[in-house]
Each structure stands twice: as C-alpha cells, then as structure tokens.
Amino acid sequence: MSPRVYVETQGCQMNDHDADRLRDLLEADGYLSTTRPEEADLLVLNTCAVREKAAEKVFSLLGVWRAFKEAHPGTLIAVGGCVASQEGEDLLARAPFVDVVFGPQTLARLPELLAERRRAGRPAVDVSFPGLEKFALAPPPPSGPSAYVTVMEGCSRYCSFCIVPYTRGAAASRTLSAVLTEVRRLVAAGVREVTLLGQNVDAWRDAGEGFDFADLLYALAEVPGLGRVRFTTSHPADLTDGVIRAFAELPVLAPHLHLPVQSGSDRILGLMKRGYTAAEYRARVEALRRARPGIALGTDFIVGYPGETEEDFAESLALVETVGFDHAFSFAYSPRPGTPAAGADPVPEAVARARLARLQERLEAAARRAREALVGREETVLLERPARRGRGEVAGRTGGHHWVNLAAPPGALGGFARVRITAALTNTLRGRYLAPVAESPAAIALPT
Ligand code: SF4
C-alpha cells in the first residue's frame, strides 16, 4: 500500500501555493494524500512566521503530531516554511522528534531530505536560499478557473517589523518567459484568471532582458484566452507609473489593487522604514483612480507599532476616511524575533487592542459602503466554485474582488458572466445571472 502524507499549511497565499507544490511533489514520489493526520506515514507542516506567536503555534501542533508518531513508530515529521527557515537546527533542540527541516526555497529538496533522514538515521536540515530552484518543479495542476502563479520570491526591502527578508531571502524573480509559459499552460488547462504572487511583485525584474513588472503585465495581456489578471502584494514605494498606466490601458487587469499602507502617520512610516509618506500614498491612490475609475482598493494596517501615539493613530483613522478602502487586513503589532523593531518599547497591549477595535470599526464601515454601492450595478463575475451554502448556487468574484453568490445555468461554472448585484450581505454580495461573457479580455469593458 502507498504511504500516506498529510500536509498542513499556515499563512499566506504563497504558502498555500507552496503546499500544493509539496503535495504534488510527494505524490510524484509515491505518497497518497490524506486529510487525516493520525493515519499519515509522513506529516508535513508548512509554517508561517508572520502572525503573532508563530513559533508557539508550531510547537504546540508538533506536540500533537508527536503523539501520532509515538502511536505509529516510523511516521516521519517534516517542518518547512518561514518558522523552519528562522529556527533551522534550533527547531530540533525543542522538537528532537522532527525528522526534516526545510525552508521556503528548499521545498523541492524534500524527497532527498527524507531519503537522507532514512539513510543516515538522524534529522536532515536544509534551510538555505538556493534562489528559484523550486520553480523547476512542474506547477500544481489548476483546481478551477482561477490560479496562482508565483512570479518572485523573497524581499529586499527590510521593513523594520517584517521577518520575510530573513526567512525567504532577498527578492529573486522568475524570468518573463518562465512566467508566460506557466500562464499559457494554465490557460490551456481551462484557467481564465491568474493572480501573480510575490512578497513585493512591483520589485519583479527580468534583469537579463531588462523587463520590469509593467512589461510583464503588458506581455500577459497578449495571452489568448486569459480573461483576468490580478497581482499581490504591491508596495506603494515600488508601484511604478508604468503599472498605473497598465491599469488604464489593459482591460485584462482586474479593477482591484491590494496596496498595504500600514500606517497613516509619516513618523510611524519612517520608523517602519516603508519608504513613503501618507501624502505619497494618497497621491498613488489618486493616480490609480484617474487611471481606472472605480478601482477597488485593499490595504493592510499595523496598529500599536512601537512609539505610536494617539496622534499617530488618529492619522491612520483619517487615512481610512479619505481613501475609503474596499477590503482591509489589520493587526495589533507584535514583535517578530530577529527584526529591527523587536527590541523597541511596545505600546501597552490594552491600548493597541483598543485602537485596533476602533480602526476595524471604521474599516468595516468603509467596506460595507463599498459593497452597498455595488447594489443595482452590473458586474463581470468569474464563476469559480459551487457556493459553500449549497442550494445549487455558485460563487464568483467581481473584478473588484467581492464574492458574489448566485444561481447560474448549467455549464456556466468556470466562465465569466454578467451579473446584476441584488444585495450586499455581511461579507459577500448576492447577484442575478444575466448572460455569459465572451472570454476575451477585450470583451470585459472598462468602467467609464
Ligand atoms: S515589503 Fe513587505 S515583504 Fe518586504 S520587508 Fe516590507 S512588509 Fe516585508
């Protein structure tokens, strides 16, 4: 009988995508995937270091897995992702029952590391940064009409609160031709929308050919059959005029951008080493809205960053009102060991939590207004999957990244449709199916 593998992943879309690669790689190595960790012969944890108390969460889950291993001797445990990269060999000191430690850039080596573990009879560790080696693996097959394509890995910005440059290494970009080849294959397999992934996609470069991220977007616009392109995450200081122009000129670009601001205070942005002011951020947003009227904006905020005063926080609240975000993620600051901000004097936890609650109230009100403004409008929706609550309905996303549930005719799933938005609910929209949309980007009308 084939050995079984259970893969658990934490954190961002890049980690989800890496987890799909891991499953594929291990299935090609003879494993069968299981959803039941207690019956697995190999347990793989793909960790994330971005959230609070990341290492504690990892060690607590490993404690559960240790019991599975004790019940079934011979079970192997592999830990990858950003916490593994950060901890390296130290992870084994706290969890000596772990068999393999690998990093985000060495995931393609997991079968070799498992073989080394079996051969040598001791744990195998490789958290090096070999660049883009993992992209030599065939990408995971698409599971619907929308797919992720990683275009770069790592980050060279070193924002003072962020662990990514230390766990994923410096920014390294795939070539334009590698990205185009992967996208063409996905389209041939039925994909209609791709989301380009990277920690800072605006820093994408094909140095050999002298292409920047705007060039990549223009090249993707030429791929026949590709109906929509999204990308995440953008950095306000690296978002070029060329990318903004692409929003004006390329109907294939979804009218949506996630542009993390983190704070509305110039003093805090300076401490964070973000490389822009609040006024510069607003100017980028205005330029985007001139290029693509109606573009939906998402953002991230950190509240209670060390040194944040009530005045600084008030500037974050003011920014929410003046910009008006459609979507937002917001967190109370918590230190990541090894980052420059980690040693700074913290804002008292109760103060940070109270500020977070106030900010989230404003963000939720702004998001509600954005959803309500869509009621009565006609939107182009990619019908991506059956709706979670059944009733034979389907769920899809508007160009502005709003989820819509609706009844659709047989065979509509997987394609674009014109949909009338009929109601705004707590987190989603309801819609009425109007007509299919020809799957050519030129057919997706730009807002006027
Ligand atoms: S740009 Fe993003 S990924 Fe890079 S260091 Fe800053 S927060 Fe981290």
Residue 445 has pLDDT above 70, yes or no: no
- 235 touches ligand 1 (CB under 6 Å): yes
165 Cβ below 6 A of ligand 1: yes
Q: Which residues contact residue 37 at a Cβ distance below 8 angstroms, ignoring those fewer than 6 apart?
A: 6, 8, 43, 64, 65, 68
Does residue 285 sit in the same domain as residue 165?
yes
Q: What is the pLDDT of residue 390?
A: 64
pLDDT of 309 reads 97
Ligand 1 center from residue 269 Cα (angstroms): 13
pLDDT at 441: 46
- Span 159-178, mean pLDDT? 93
Considering the domain architecture, whether residues 328 and 362 belong to the same structural domain is answered as yes
Tell me the mean pLDDT in the region 197-212: 94
Report helix, strand or coil for 384.
strand
Residue ranges of E strands in 259-409: 296-303, 327-332, 378-386, 394-398, 403-406
* Contact (CB, 8 A) for 269 and 298: no
Domain boundary among 86, 108, 126: 126
Strand 42-47 vs strand 4-9: parallel, antiparallel, or unpaired? parallel
Over 50: is that where the pLDDT of 443 sits? Answer: no
Structural domain of 362 = 133-373
Of 373, 396, 412, which one is at a domain's C-terminal end?
A: 373
Whole-number Å distance, alpha carbon 80 to ligand 1 midpoint, is: 20
Per-residue pLDDT band for 439 (boundaries 50, 70, 90) equals low
138/122 same-domain check: no
Same domain, 420 and 438: yes
Same domain, 148 and 261: yes
Which CATH number does the domain housing residue 407 bear? Answer: 2.40.50.140
Considering only 49-53, 94-98, 195-199, 212-216, which range has the smallest mean pLDDT?
Answer: 49-53
Task: Tell how far the Cα of 234 is from the centroid of ligand 1, in angstroms.
Answer: 10
**Beta carbon of 159 within 6 Å of any ligand 1 atom:** yes
- Asked if residue 375 has pLDDT above 90, the reply is yes
Q: Per-residue pLDDT for 442 more than 80?
A: no
Residue 447 contacts residue 292 (beta carbons within 8 Å): yes
Angle separating helix axes 310-323 and 349-373, nearest 10 degrees: 10
pLDDT of 297 strictly over 70:
yes
What's 262's DSSP letter?
B
The reply to whether 110 and 141 lie within a common domain is: no
> In which element (H, E) is residue 348 found?
none
Confidence of residue 1 (pLDDT cuts 50, 70, 90): confident
pLDDT tens digits for range 59-80: 999 999 999 999 998 999 999 9
Q: 244 CA to middle of ligand 1, Å?
A: 21
Whole-number Å distance, alpha carbon 432 to ligand 1 midpoint, is 40
Q: Is the minimum distance from the CB of 234 to ligand 1 under 6 angstroms?
A: no
Residue 84: pLDDT over 70:
yes
Mean pLDDT of the chain: 92
Is residue 162's pLDDT more than 90? yes
pTM of the model: 0.90
The CATH number of whichever domain residue 111 belongs to comes to 3.40.50.12160
Regarding whether 414 and 437 lie in a shared domain, the answer is yes
CA-nearest residue, atom 3 of ligand 1: 199
> Is the pLDDT confidence value at 143 over 80?
yes
Residue 279 has pLDDT above 80, yes or no: yes
Quick check: CB of 162 below 6 Å from ligand 1?
Answer: yes
Answer yes or no: is the C-beta of 199 below 6 A from any ligand 1 atom: yes
**In Å, what is the CA distance from 380 to each residue of 199, 245, 319, 433?**
28, 22, 29, 10
Last residue of a domain, one of 321, 340, 373: 373
Residues 201 and 256 in one domain: yes
The 3-state DSSP class for residue 245 equals helix
Q: Which two three-digit tokens encode residue 188?
A: 């041939």
pLDDT band at 446; cut points 50, 70, 90: very low
pLDDT at 53 over 80: no
Alpha carbon distance 27, 76 (integer Å): 16
Helix axes 310-323, 278-291, angle to 10 degrees: 10
The residue contributing the CA closest to ligand 1 atom 1 is 157
CA distance 288 to 202: 15
Band of residue 133 on the pLDDT scale cut at 50, 70, 90: confident
What's the DSSP call for residue 38?
G
Report the atom number in ligand 1 closest to the C-alpha of 165. Answer: 5
Q: Is 302 in the pocket of ligand 1 (CB under 6 A)?
A: no
Q: Which one is predicted more confidently, 353 or 51?
A: 353
- Cα of 29 vs centre of ligand 1, distance in Å, is 34
Which pLDDT belongs to residue 209? 87
Does ligand 1 have an atom closer than 6 angstroms to the CB of 269? no
CA 233–ligand 1 middle distance (angstroms): 9
pLDDT reading at 378 higher than 50: yes
Q: In what order do the strands lie in the sheet with 193-197?
A: 146-150, 193-197, 228-232
Number of domains in the chain: 3
